[in-house]
Structure 1
């Protein structure tokens, strides 16, 4: 049963609770992300209509990917793209393809099997990126592989959503529709590159001339939201648009000027995304299809670890680093929710329960990845330095 709460009161209470949960996470050494999701589940009835929370959560996720895009200039992104595609297609085959086959074995129809396969496919980009930052693993050797795989998934997931929407409409989804979708993605990416090389070529000089931080914040956040909104208008993902907006500005000399301006706003807004994510999950009465649920959770974890171990080796990582990467990409999140929202009835409840469990287990595995890697491969040996004795 829903009950009404003034929008502003709800927003204030959520921010205070986020502060309290942040302190609690430090005390109990538990990931803040999952605490925020649980908060959203608890407050779902009170916040189901809160448009302010929804809008703020959209800004948070857009700014996260905008800042990620800043780290990838065109040259670096091109180098990653040539290396990640084998692991990316392996991920599609194992995480989506095999999950779909398992659903068919359990007696589900083709459309429902494909939908659930989509739910089990994409790693949560926001959860993974947040955990990388929180655990100070951004500089680790596997991080580039993880981010590259997330980018690949962010390109594939909108295509999966479009196919599901086409299938659910009752009309035949034509090859031409898929070609148009690919064209939009290529066009959006090409537009970002073109703008980065022309309009934003001297952007750093403009930032230096702007002394008032308020104006600077408005400009930078406006750019990220506008390109993310353009992606949505084209039927793509706003996080893909925001990431491309970051790439547009990545060619400037000192990206620190942009990061320092946007970071405080992102830190305020991003927790709201996870709270909102929690409010979208409806458990319903009981747990449907328990056997399939357990099977998919088990396989989805195995599939991601295999993607890390095999795909990571294809990418050039060592065995231990590839295994650690595999353990770090098991969480499900925003794209799974988008796809689950297209389901109805029991399948929607089933998908919501799967997402919560997979997100929880994925975050635990991420936190324990270094220890589990040491358990399997042993602790890494420190390189010995040859010390010269004076006078020898």
Structure 2
């Protein structure tokens, strides 16, 4: 910590206590902890702004999040998801990323800033949506498979968006040659991950079984995640993409829970620091920037996801009723938007932070009212009466 006479160790301890309290509070008041962590960062920004300790912890947290996410996607599963969800997924990219970028361009923003805003508005919050589905008992609903498939598709696209934004922000100009080089690096890093997954890590599960000491497992698995994330940084890409690909490498093993149960506790400890650190970078002293654009982007964010549900749901094979309910349930923005917004600076950083906070609240409200709104549009579903066959009839 930078305050004179304020030990870094004391600051770290207080942050962890705040993380516990806010996590506990979020369960009581039913507000996603992500929002509370960002608000905490904004409040304590003057005390811990530019803290190297917090920045490093936050980087580890986000790397482990994407590492664990990558574990869910081996090459075979990626192919299976793509075959069924790609029409709806591409519609999502067009509506939430493409159109939003176009709206920002109409407000005379440059291409990079417009694409960054489009990226922030693109991805639904996987953590908020999945938690709400579980908490509200909707996991068995007709539309849930479609919602989860969209989240998976977005989980695959978001790291690529981050990698492109990260690479372009590190350079002087956005041009075709820069884009081609970036895509080449992404493809090369992905190909290397697939090759390593099919060769070096093919028998990784049996190797893990021979390691009795859990401490050694933690060092090895987190080391792999950080090293591949670091390799991505070395190539001028995002550590998020590298971590995701590191997870993909290990996804080829038979039982990924062996890796997850080792890494999850460290991720759960470190990840909240990422959202707190992001909050410390938001400076609200100059008021709300580009308020007209902010209002329009928030409105379009909701409309885009509604259209995704209404148009994309039937493409996936679900009813109009379930499609509308799905669209209303996909409006929350959260962790992926924060990751993409971390590339922003100055006014764009403030704009991004405010958008994420408002979009998360609006998304939660629409999720809670999804069933009621659907019933008002299509009427309450009629329960089919079971015919009881009487003896002798």
TM-score between both structures, scaled by the size of structure 2 = 0.84
| Distance in 2 (alpha carbons) for counterparts of 1:355 and 1:12 | 27
Q: Give yes or no for contact 1:137–1:143 (8 Å, CA) kept in 2.
A: no
* C-alpha distance 67-339 of structure 1, shift in aligned 2 (>3 A): closer
Cα offset, 1:328, TM superposition: 4.0
What is the number of residues matched between the two proteins? 387
Moved more, 233-242 or 259-268: 233-242
Unaligned runs of 5+ in 2: none
Q: Give yes or no for contact 2:65–2:267 (8 Å, CA) kept in 1.
A: yes
The 5-angstrom pairing of residues 1-392 of structure 1 reads: 3=3, 5-108=6-109, 112-124=113-125, 140-141=144-145, 142-163=147-168, 166=171, 169=172, 171=173, 173-333=174-334, 336-337=337-338, 340=341, 345-366=346-367, 369=370, 372-373=373-374, 376=377
| Distance in 2 (alpha carbons) for counterparts of 1:362 and 1:334 | 13
* C-alpha distance 263-367 of structure 1, shift in aligned 2 (>3 A): farther
* C-alpha distance 373-231 of structure 1, shift in aligned 2 (>3 A): farther
* C-alpha distance 317-199 of structure 1, shift in aligned 2 (>3 A): farther
Output the aligned Cα RMSD: 3.3
Cα offset, 1:216, TM superposition: 0.8
Cα offset, 1:194, TM superposition: 1.0
* C-alpha distance 341-197 of structure 1, shift in aligned 2 (>3 A): closer
Q: Give yes or no for contact 2:69–2:244 (8 Å, CA) kept in 1.
A: yes
| Distance in 2 (alpha carbons) for counterparts of 1:380 and 1:223 | 50
Deviations 1:142-185 (A, max 9, x none): 2133122231232234324544655xx2x4x4423222211111
* C-alpha distance 367-184 of structure 1, shift in aligned 2 (>3 A): farther
| Distance in 2 (alpha carbons) for counterparts of 1:359 and 1:185 | 30
Unaligned runs of 5+ in 1: none
Q: Equivalent residue of 2:270, what SS?
A: helix
* C-alpha distance 112-193 of structure 1, shift in aligned 2 (>3 A): closer
TM-score between both structures, scaled by the size of structure 1 = 0.84
| Distance in 2 (alpha carbons) for counterparts of 1:390 and 1:209 | 63
Cα offset, 1:378, TM superposition: 5.8
Q: Give yes or no for contact 2:158–2:336 (8 Å, CA) kept in 1.
A: no
